[in-house]
Amino acid sequence: MENILELQDLSKAFPKSDFKLENFSYSLPYGAIGGFVGENGAGKTTTIGCILNTMRRDGGTVKLFGREMTDADTEIREKIGVVYDGDNFPGYWSAKQLSRVMEGIYRQWDNALFQKYLEDFRLPAGQKIKHYSRGMTMKLAVAAALSHHPELLVLDEATSGLDPVMRDEMLDVFLEFVQEENHSILLSSHITSDLERVADYITFIHNGKLVMTVSKNDLVYHYAVMRCRESQFRTLDPGDIIAWRKRDFQIDVLVSDGRQAQKKYRDAVVDHVSVDEIMVLLVKGERV
Amino acid sequence: MRGLLRNNLYATGSNARVFSGFMLLLGAFTAAVISQSLQIGYVMIGIIGFSVNAVLVGKNESVSKWGKYKLTMPVKRADIVKSLFFNEVIWLLAGTVFAGIEVGLSWLIHGCLFDRPIDMLTMFALGISMSLFMGAIFFPLLYAGGEERGEVFLIIALLGAFGIDFAIVSMANEILDPGITAILLGAAILVGCSVSAFILSYPLTVCIFKRKEY
């Protein structure tokens, strides 16, 4: 399958904070929703910054639509819609003014579509953005990102701070967007339930490193957590363990195939695992 | 580019409307009274004030993520900088028109307040020159030092522009013999130097902005 986005050995260091993104390789196929998940400061926004050229990378390659994007490649950016967390647009604008600016920037800006989104999202076009609620500003940003007919949506914490009803509404819009087979979404979030609902692939990032990428099907049907006693844990084959974490009276072990683990270790309790639990095990647990 | 200019217009417009109201009232008062120094002050405030309002666009945008967002749109970084330079020129012209109307009105009512009409040329040249020097200093500083320090860079740019103009005028007075030719030449040197600095500041600002990370 062809990829809409490909990162190869992406590196970026911040000498003042000791944080660095190290040899980050990742690919997002056409027609898919890829989710980045990781704790605050894990490197999600840095990765997105390097993809969108708002940050300069120290090494590696980033290919969008099959080629590297430079500052001069405005054609590529015509096909990308972006939503950042928080205030994407100046508060002194109204949605009407935003549309007028955008139609002077995007060749494919579709004012009728934008007006439709404003109606669907119940956003007053004449009101200043600074008087919008947080949820309304996020909806406006999504409307703007979709109204120039992009093929790739990059959403950096776009659902954080929204109430569950609004998040659900936004996630439906994203799912509708990927109905077109050449459309993809890169969604960064630490709200793991959002990723569980919409993402086809979930990528775990920790301390600037890509820990693993799992398809949602694998996550739902195969990944599991084994609850072991210490004596049981000592008998486990290290090859079966992705990560483990000692709790009060048990040890939680993340495994990639729960059914096989159940067959192999009959005494152990094997439970389904959520993205949240995987994240905690990968971040706070130990890896073999 | 059209969208970027429109963005700058919206960003400047609200403050410019307030400033225009103030300038209209001040202009009416200045035209009504006979005062050469008041007229010089009005011309300077008009030209430089509108320019200051225009250059602050870059700083005002840092309140939201719009500065970062713009980089994800189909515009080049050089175009973003170019639009800021254009914006300053547009508002500089607006300020010059305001000042010109007031001077014209005063002239109609009271006659010329200066010894010679050509002295007014120096006044306009000084205002335009200070505005252009200010922009030439402010824009590279803004991107090199960060938008959050916009106010201090504006003060530095204004003082720098004043210092450069003061030095040019002092040198011109030293070198040139008094007379109409000296006034014309002095005004030409002021405008010529500031236009050159403004033009040269553009590639420097682009170069700095290309390294800027958000």
What pLDDT, in 10s, does the model give residues B49-81?
999 999 998 787 777 899 999 999 999 999 999
Residues 6+ apart with CB under 8 A from A125: A94, A95, A96, A99, A115, A118
Contacts with B71 from chain A: Cβ below 8 Å: 52-54
pLDDT in tens, chain A (288 residues): 589 999 999 999 998 888 999 999 999 999 999 999 988 899 999 999 999 999 999 999 999 999 999 999 999 999 999 999 989 999 999 999 999 999 999 999 999 999 999 999 999 999 999 999 999 999 999 999 999 999 999 999 988 878 888 899 999 999 999 999 999 999 998 888 889 899 999 999 999 999 999 999 898 899 999 999 989 999 999 999 999 999 888 999 999 999 999 999 988 899 999 988 998 999 899 987
Distance CA A2, CA A157 (A): 26
Tokens at residue A146, please? Answer: 């979709």
Count CA within 13 A, CB hemisphere, residue B145: 16
Provide the edge-to-edge strand list for the sheet that holds A243-246. Answer: A269-272, A224-228, A251-255, A243-246, A286-287
Contacts with A99 from chain B: Cβ below 8 Å: none
Q: Is A100 on the interface with B (CB under 8 A)?
A: yes
Reported as a single tens digit per residue, the pLDDT across A41-75 is: 999 999 999 999 999 999 999 999 999 999 999 99
pLDDT in tens, chain B (214 residues): 899 999 999 999 888 999 999 999 999 999 999 899 999 999 999 999 999 999 998 787 777 899 999 999 999 999 999 999 999 999 999 999 999 999 999 999 998 888 888 888 999 999 999 999 999 999 999 999 988 899 999 999 999 999 999 999 999 989 988 888 888 999 999 999 999 999 999 999 999 999 999 8
Is the CB of A89 less than 8 angstroms away from the CB of B63?
Answer: no
Is the CB of A74 less than 8 angstroms away from the CB of B2?
Answer: no
Contacts with A154 from chain B: Cβ below 8 Å: 72
Is the CB of A86 less than 8 angstroms away from the CB of B61?
Answer: no
Is the CB of B72 less than 8 angstroms away from the CB of A87?
Answer: no
What single letter denotes the amino acid at residue A105?
I
Is the CB of B6 less than 8 angstroms away from the CB of A101?
Answer: yes
- What is the residue-averaged pLDDT of chain B? 93
Distance CA B8, CA B95 (A): 16
Contacts with B64 from chain A: Cβ below 8 Å: 86-91
Residue ranges of B 24-83 with Cβ closer than 8 A to chain A: 60-61, 63-66, 68-69, 71-78
Is the CB of B61 less than 8 angstroms away from the CB of A101?
Answer: no
**Bridge partners (DSSP) listed for residue A27:** A6
* Shortest distance, CA A42 to any CA of chain B (angstroms): 17
User: Nearest by CB to B6, which of A80, A82, A104?
Assistant: A104
**Neighbour-count burial for B61-84, b at 16+ CB within 10 Å, e otherwise:** bbebbbbbbbbbbbbbbbbbbbbb
DSSP state, A9? E
Comparing alpha-carbon positions, the chain A residue that sits nearest to B15 is A92
Comparing alpha-carbon positions, the chain B residue that sits nearest to A82 is B72
Residues composing chain A: 288
Chain centroid to Cα B12, Å, comes to 13
Say if CB A204 and CB A38 are below 8 A apart.
Answer: yes
